[in-house]
Homo-oligomer: A and B are copies of this chain.
Amino acid sequence: MIEQLTILAPGLLGGSVAKAAYATKAAKRIVIWSRRPETRRALRKQKFVTEVADTPEAAVLGASLVVIASPVTKIVPLIAQINAHLAKGCIVTDVGSVKESIVKKGSKLLKDAHFVGSHPMAGSEKTGWENGSSDLFKNRTCFITPIKSTNKEATKSVALFWKKLGANVVVCDPKKHDNTVAQISHLPQVIASTLCSALLRKDPKVLAYAGNGLKDTTRIAGSDSDLWREIIDLNQKEILKALHNYQKELAQFEKALKEKNFSQVTRILARGKFCRERFILR
């Protein structure tokens, strides 16, 4: 059991980490810092919180594990801010959707503590710690992305922590991680958002008749634009590659449709169905 778990800047994911750690008795003490005073006030009333600190520096005092749950561009600045206040051997991890730049910078910054990048593939179009849930990570993939310089024991501890919270841990090189999530998470986000955006620009009236197909296809377009802007910024190169690959497929479909090459149209539809059935059966 972890003596003290500190969670910095909890949103949906950080709130879920706190609730899940409390529910699974993963930590003796759960200390939280949040930027907004009103959030701190609300958190003080929650049974899953042992203590709410007024600064990140105060929150990490005595922590064995620190989980940084802020938007991705704030992770490295927070590591720099807490660095001098971490106990020797303390482990710091995060929940960011992009890993390479964060892991490189985070690992370099820390002196006596160890950084191990994490990315639990869980979430919702909803935001805020209030919407977090203790079973958000259950049976979800959680990437852990050590690099050569990463402390082996720290990697193991972080893996154990996510397993305790119910996640399926996948250890993965940060660059490979960024390439993977660009395809399976960031590209679908771009597609859902641009589909909604295109429909709105073309003829908003048609949206009144949207069925369940369109609703599901675009659910994630309801996600927070600013959080996604940051993720897209940090993973720009890999997303461009994934987008280019997708545009090629779409162009191939368009060509087949223009030429009334319906056997090719069917091939693409059937390949899509095969793929969809493959990953849904896991």
Interface residue ranges, A against B (CB under 8 Å): 121-123, 140-141, 143, 170, 180-181, 183-185, 187-204, 206-226, 228-229, 232-233, 236, 239-240, 242-251, 253-254, 257-258, 260, 262, 265-266, 268-280, 282
Contacts and interface: CB of A to CB of B under 8 A. Distances in A.
A198 B123 contact: no
Contacts of A240: 254, 257-258
Given A217-B188, A220-B216, A279-B208, A270 B225 contact: yes
A270 B221 CA distance: 9
Given A229-B266, A245-B202, A271 B195 contact: no
Contact of A250 (B194, B212, B232, B275): B194
A265 B217 contact: no
A249 B203 contact: no
Contact of A275 (B207, B254, B257): B207
Contacts of A278: 200, 204, 207
Contacts of A190: 250, 253
A206 B184 contact: yes
Contacts of A211: 121-123, 140-141, 184-185
Interface centre among A193, A200, A220, A272 (most CB of B within 10 A): A272
Contacts of A122: 211-212
Given A183-B203, A198-B248, A258-B240, A217 B220 contact: yes
B195 A191 contact: yes
Nearest to A233: B262
Given A198-B246, A221-B272, A228-B269, A214 B193 contact: no
A188 to B, nearest CB: 4
Contacts of A192: 217, 272, 276
12 contacts: A121-B211, A140-B211, A143-B209, A185-B214, A188-B218, A191-B195, A191-B250, A194-B253, A201-B271, A207-B275, A218-B276, A247-B254
Contacts of A196: 271-273, 275-276
B272 A193 contact: yes
A217 B275 CA distance: 13
